[in-house]
A and B are shown apart, each in its own frame.
Chain A
Amino acid sequence: MNISDKFKELKTRGEGALIAYVCAGDGDTPGIVHALIRGGADIVELGMPFSDPVADGPTIQASIQRALDAGMNPDKYFEMVKGLDVDVPLVVMTYYNLIFKRGLEKFVKDCQDSGITGIIVPDLPPEESEELAGYCHEHGIDLIFLVAPTTRGNRLEDILKKGTGFIYMVARLGVTGARADISESTKELLGRVNTDTPRAVGFGISSGEQAAEIFQSGAEGVIVGSAFVDIIASSEDVIKRLEVLAWEIKSNL
């Protein structure tokens, strides 16, 4: 299933999407992915670990480091994804150098072959994305762009025009990481980002309550990462607790 179909399906059911992020290679990834889906994750974002993740905070950076130390690399990543038997859209999130080094077209083809339907690259603004977008278009893969509270004017228009799948709305200034407060800027941002493409809000969301607030503000989905990664890092009862947290958030959407 691709991302657009998933959002259409959710819309007819009146639900918001739970997009769950975890870093591949940190822990029992297939077990983790299945637990998230059992809990209600609608889309799973699987990080491909990069040595210098500048858009991520300490929680996800540590997860990425554990994955790298455990030997995860792009070859193993695609192999592992191929083996996942899931019926939700899978999205790869990684930094541009890994894509560039593999070769843009090969990377996109590997996504297609392994069942990944979308790509998020936090250090690739639309200005630099033309070539990758071309291959994504050719192979039917969504290239998902981020919109930040600082994005305005022509840049915003351009991102809304170029982004497919969903628009990743960054809830606040800063890097990834669970936060208790969801800033007013989220609502302000939702207010001025008008598009037919679904809008999913990420960065700092860790509870059902926050998810409900964002959904009620008009977003089509929420992205939750660090809160899941915190559970993985604790190594205690991971599978069960991931499923419960996913369920707690999804039941508010």
Chain B
Amino acid sequence: MKTKGKFGRFGGQFVPEVLMPALEELEQAYERFKKDPGFKAELDYYLQDFAGRPSPLYFARSLSKKYGLKVYLKREDLVHGGAHKLNNTIGQALLAKYMGKQRLIAETGAGQHGTATAMAGANLGLNTEVYMGAKDIERQRMNVYRMELMGTKVHAVTSGSQTLKDAINEALRDWVANVEHTHYLIGSVVGPHPFPMIVRDFQSVIGEEVKYQIMEKEGRLPDSIIACTGGGSNAMGIFHPFVSDVDVDLIAVEAGGSGLKCNDTAALHSASLSVGEEGVLHGAKTKILQNEYGQILESQSISAGLDYSGVGPELAYLAETGRIKPKNASDEEALAAFHELSRTEGIIPALESSHALAYLAKAASELGEIVVINISGRGDKDLETVMKMGAVA
């Protein structure tokens, strides 16, 4: 037996024994179907005609003028469902169908992944159930309703911090009990191998499109690419096709919350890549927020989608080797960027994406001449949160 799915010393498979055969089955199925012309054609069809790909690469005139460089926005907010999440859920749901599984389970923080799973499940005729922290259900009511409209059962998770971390625990427990006929549709580049690889591959369509779109528009690659990073699926998706293009700076912006501090049980941020320590959470060795004994700290962010105590193992590896630069933006900075994009470009970004945008405002002079920012999702789901924050900044 060989240890599989490592990125340097990160990654691996740290799961209950019951799941090990399922991971093996999934890996074999993925290796087989990703080369299968029928599978590929069907996936392309769904991405194009159901999801609405390719998403535009939009030249943001006002932002460019304000910050003195060429700012391009990758418009994942225009993908069906309002976020990049569908690229992965349609891929995995199709894979599950090819594997003969009848049921999908997923966990969701902001509800974007849950919604995208509900869409894929409804479209492909698979029973779908989603676990969501009770606190996140409060923050993201509309997404819960959207999931229910599409026939998905949403389970409220009341254990622990009642956010994504605990929803993942519950989804894992469900999978342990129902592994024979259920596919656990993980929504980010996290979890045990082969999930970080599969999710990255399905999301790489973002970066691949950026590559030819920017060549068409500028005739060269960008100087920098910025993406927000919770688990890191939109970041890995846009970064991955550029990893070997070493002249392109890859900047992963984490949720700085209300400051990079923590106490014994909770962090005031979600910046596991920037300040987390090596550890094992949810099936993989990666950078995590933990205390001196290895207990996982609850994380915090204005954005439910970034509010996670870990990060994808490949990002941990790329950060350690210096290929990507982990940065962070606070709740306040993200909120300011949210308002700025809404007013200057007429695009209301997700609070997740607002963190990536905030970094433009913080470090415009260090980004070169051409920068691409991944607008991973639209902000409709966050309006209630933003309204509660009070007056327009």
Contacts and interface: CB of A to CB of B under 8 A. Distances in A.
Contact of B4 (A127, A146, A151): A127
Interface in A85-136: 95-102, 122-128
B294 A102 contact: yes
A57 B173 contact: yes
Contacts of A75: 293
Interface string A60-82: 01000100100001110000000
Contacts of A55: 16, 176
Interface residues of A, number: 45
Interface stretch (A2-10, A37-45, A152-160, A219-227): A152-160
A126 B13 CA distance: 10
Nearest to B4: A127
A247 interface: no
B173 A54 contact: yes
A158 B2 CA distance: 11
Contacts of B19: 150
Interface in A133-186: 145-152, 154-155, 158-159, 170, 173-175
B10 to A, nearest CB: 12
Nearest to B292: A101
A58 B390 CA distance: 39
A97 B22 contact: no
A148 B17 contact: yes
B17 A158 contact: no
Contacts of A97: 279-281, 288, 290, 294, 296
Interface string B216-254: 000000000000000000000000000000000000000
A52 B14 contact: no
B17 A98 contact: no
A127 B27 CA distance: 15
B20 A98 contact: no
Given A128-B13, A175-B177, A101 B279 contact: yes
Contacts of B179: 150, 173
Given A123-B283, A126-B1, A150-B179, A74 B17 contact: no
Given A53-B169, A127-B20, 15 more contacts: A51-B160, A52-B281, A54-B172, A54-B176, A58-B159, A68-B295, A97-B294, A122-B17, A123-B280, A148-B20, A150-B17, A151-B20, A155-B21, A173-B177, A173-B180
Interface in B21-36: 21-22
Nearest to A148: B18
B169 A54 contact: yes
A146 B279 contact: no
A23 to B, nearest CB: 14
A52 B169 contact: yes
Interface string B244-274: 0000000000000000000000000000000
Interface string A14-45: 00000000000000000000000000000000
Q: Which of B159, B169, B278 has the most CB of A within 10 A?
A: B169
Contacts of A95: 280
B135 interface: no
A171 to B, nearest CB: 11
Contact of A146 (B3, B16, B280, B282): B16
A177 B15 CA distance: 18
10 contacts: A51-B160, A51-B296, A52-B165, A53-B169, A98-B294, A100-B278, A125-B15, A173-B18, A173-B178, A175-B177
B282 A54 contact: yes
A173 B13 CA distance: 19
A50 interface: yes
Nearest to A157: B1
Interface in B172-220: 172-173, 176-180
B133 interface: no
Contacts of B14: 96, 123-125, 128
A51 B169 CA distance: 10
A148 B165 CA distance: 25
A119 to B, nearest CB: 15
A107 B294 CA distance: 13
Which A-B residue pairs are the 9 nearest by beta carbons? A101-B294, A174-B177, A148-B18, A146-B17, A51-B295, A55-B16, A98-B294, A97-B294, A150-B21
Nearest to B178: A173
A192 B277 CA distance: 42
B12 interface: yes
B173 A154 contact: no
A130 to B, nearest CB: 8
Contacts of A146: 16-17
Contacts of A51: 160, 295-296
Nearest to B285: A100
Contacts of A100: 278-280, 285, 294
A123 B16 contact: yes
Contacts of B283: 123
A122 B293 contact: no
A53 B288 CA distance: 16
B293 A102 contact: yes
A158 B1 contact: yes
A202 B15 CA distance: 18
Contacts of B17: 122, 125, 145-148, 150-151, 159, 170
B110 to A, nearest CB: 20
B160 A155 contact: no
A99 B285 CA distance: 13
Given A148-B17, A155-B20, A52 B296 contact: yes
